[in-house]
Amino acid sequence: MADTRTVDVGGRSYLLARLNIKALRAVTEGLDALKDNVFEAIDLMVEAVFQSMSRADPAISKDAVESMLDGESVPRVFREVLLFSGLVPVKDPKPGEAKSP
């Protein structure tokens, strides 16, 4: 089994796996969409979350992922996927702040 991390969405826990190079490439190529079009940004974030969750649990469907995510959780879980996959560096916290996983 791939190295996984747990994320809570809608009161349930789900497994995330690191994105493979193909998925990371698609995410990095689509990051420009995050600036210009909110719907394209949501699609990109959902796709990345789906790719991560489906690597950890091949039985999960994209429809199930879209149904569990909401406006608060999609950017939070997307960031977790990027952090876990090594695409976003973990920064040292300022004094008094909690450290990112």
Dump pLDDT digits (tens) for 58-81: 999 999 999 999 988 999 999 999
Q: Which two tokens stand for residue 20?
A: 């493979």
The answer to the question of residue 96 being in a domain is no
The answer to the question of residue 43 being in a domain is yes
Count: domains in the chain: 1
H/E segment holding residue 99: none
The answer to the question of residue 89 being in a domain is no
The answer to the question of residue 99 being in a domain is no
User: What is the pLDDT, as a whole number, of residue 90?
Assistant: 60
Q: Which two tokens stand for residue 78?
A: 């997307």
Model confidence at 8: pLDDT above 80: yes
* Confidence band for 21, pLDDT divided at 50, 70 and 90: confident
User: What is the pLDDT, as a whole number, of residue 54?
Assistant: 95
The answer to the question of residue 93 being in a domain is no
Amino acid at 93: P
- Residue 16 structural domain: 4-84
Mean pLDDT value across the chain: 84
The answer to the question of residue 12 being in a domain is yes
